[in-house]
Amino acid sequence: MTDPRVTEVLNSQHIELPSWAFGNSGTRFKVFAQAGVPRDPYEKIADAAQVHKYTGAAPTVALHIPWDKVSDYADLARHAKDQGVAIGTINSNVFQDDDYMLGSVTNPDPRVRRKATDHLLECVDVMDATGSRDLKLWFSDGINYPGQDDIRARQDRLAEALAEVYARLGDHQRMLLEYKLFEPAFYATDVPDWGTAYAHTLALGERAVVCVDTGHHAPSTNIEFIVAFLLRANKLGAFDFNSRFYADDDLMVGAADPFQLFRILFEVLRGGGFDRDPGALDEIAFMLDQCHNIEPKIPGQIRSVMNVQEATAKALLVDRDALAAAQAEGDVLGANAVFMDAYNTDVRPMLAELRAAKGRDPDPMAAYKRSGYAEQIVTDRVGGQQAGWGA
Ligand code: PSV
Ligand code: MN
Ligand code: MN
């Protein structure tokens, strides 16, 4: 008999989908176009709604501005509602204009900094129209060569821009500051790690929090330690889930190292991260930040949601009393065994049962495949420009 607390957390877990997962994507070498991909933000939301339909766990979709630019965001929000989902986080884009070659908010040229900050402010306008709580900031800013620019001055410029945007947020809105070790800057990135993001968000105020993108760390980094630290400091706001084998590749979460995902989610549990109210300012947003370059996109998202659910279920199965007792006794192997017992449990039957209890198909991948939606969009979506990464 499953512990009711396990059921409750799994039934209420929300995983946000990125609109850009549904468009064509690729590497700098080649974007492989797939038939039937969305031609506009409305169709991306329709595809995201399919993921929610079969998993019941993905009720929001993150937008990326201007990739998802529309003339009427309130209308887009209504469309999402009609499809059974809602618009979530607004992601800014200050990395795709020629102006940003030497940086956006840290650029030495005040004109470019102004342009970048204005874009971030415009993203808050979009949030007002869509009712979004979170603004996610990722900066590609950095330098490629020693001496190229003043590392410290760039921190000053960053702090100035962040403060201006933070001041523009409503009381119910948050800023998520994401860090990334490297790429596209190859010598020094302006927000390279959690410590930098933490320090900036601390200076800004309590509605500025850190977004941990699981793909943005050096190999062997202990991400669960970062999660534990940030949660303890009330500064963990969100995850961008994905997998990487080498550098950041936005592969499906849980694909490279499901054990790491389990360890991360155990720290979320340990830190009370599953106890927050949906929509509250202290909620941890579980988002996917992925691109499906060679696999079909909707099934790729369904699989990813299921991977997060499976890792969460395993984290919830850790016998915390037994773990605490073993830890208190200094029983190293006993404590580790409690952990591994949970990780080694096959939780798939339990999750299938929970889906069935909610009237859903126990096998979301098979149910989507049977639905014929994939064939339908190939037939329907002809002509028109495909939207998304590399479009
Ligand atoms: C670039 O690395 C990136 O993948 C960041 O993780 C952002 O969250 C995402 O793009 C969308 O801007
Ligand atoms: Mn990310
Ligand atoms: Mn990334």
Ligand 1: which atom is nearest the Cα of residue 136?
8
Report how many domains make up the chain.
1
pLDDT value of residue 3: 87
* Other beta carbons less than 10 A from residue 228's beta carbon: 18
pLDDT value of residue 244: 95
pTM: 0.97
pLDDT tens-digit readout, 271-312: 999 999 999 999 999 999 999 999 999 999 999 999 999 999
pLDDT value of residue 384: 65
User: Do the Cβ atoms of 127 and 90 come closer than 8 Å?
Assistant: yes
Distance 119 CA to ligand 3 centre (A): 20
Question: Residues with beta carbon inside 6 Å of ligand 1?
Answer: 91, 138, 178, 180, 213, 240, 248, 250, 289
Q: Which of 123, 180, 251, 291 to mutate to test the pocket of ligand 1 (most atoms within 8 A of CB)?
A: 180
378 contact partners, CB below 8 Å, separation of at least 6: 35, 36
Measured from the alpha carbon of residue 65, the closest ligand is 1
φ, ψ of residue 112 in degrees (nearest 5): -70, -40
Distance 288 CA to ligand 3 centre (A): 10
Q: Is residue 170 part of a domain?
A: yes
Distance 155 CA to ligand 1 centre (A): 20
Q: Is residue 332 part of a domain?
A: no
In a structure prediction context, what are the per-residue pLDDT tens digits for the chain, which is 391 residues long? 678 889 999 999 999 999 999 999 999 899 999 999 999 999 999 999 999 999 999 999 999 999 999 999 999 999 999 999 999 999 999 999 999 999 999 999 999 999 999 999 999 999 999 999 999 999 999 999 999 999 999 999 999 999 999 999 999 999 999 999 999 999 999 999 999 999 999 999 999 999 999 999 999 999 999 999 999 999 999 999 999 999 988 999 999 999 999 999 999 999 999 999 999 999 999 999 999 999 999 999 999 999 999 999 999 999 999 999 999 999 999 999 999 999 999 999 999 999 999 999 999 999 999 999 999 999 999 876 666 655 4
CA angle 372, 389, 69 (to 5 degrees): 90
Distance 382 CA to ligand 2 centre (A): 30
Ligand 1: which atom is nearest the Cα of residue 92?
12
Q: Is residue 330 part of a domain?
A: no
Ligand 1: which atom is nearest the Cα of residue 248?
2
pLDDT value of residue 387: 65
Domain that residue 216 falls in: 13-316+347-380
Measured from the alpha carbon of residue 18, the closest ligand is 1
Q: Is residue 387 part of a domain?
A: no
Start-to-end CA span in the chain (Å): 49
Distance 213 CA to ligand 3 centre (A): 7
pLDDT tens-digit readout, 96-128: 999 999 999 999 999 999 999 999 999 999 999
Q: Is residue 340 part of a domain?
A: no
| Distance from C-alpha of 252 to C-alpha of 205, rounded to nearest angstrom | 33
Q: Domain of 178: which CATH number?
A: 3.20.20.150
Ligand 1: which atom is nearest the Cα of residue 213?
6
Measured from the alpha carbon of residue 212, the closest ligand is 2
Q: Is residue 294 part of a domain?
A: yes
Q: Is residue 334 part of a domain?
A: no
Distance 3 CA to ligand 1 centre (A): 37
Rounded to whole angstroms, the maximal C-alpha distance in the chain is: 67
Which runs of E-coded beta strand occur in 3-43? 15-18
Ligand 1: which atom is nearest the Cα of residue 178?
8
Distance 290 CA to ligand 2 centre (A): 8
| Distance from C-alpha of 257 to C-alpha of 255, rounded to nearest angstrom | 6
Q: What 8-state DSSP symbol labels residue 329?
A: T
Q: Is residue 190 part of a domain?
A: yes
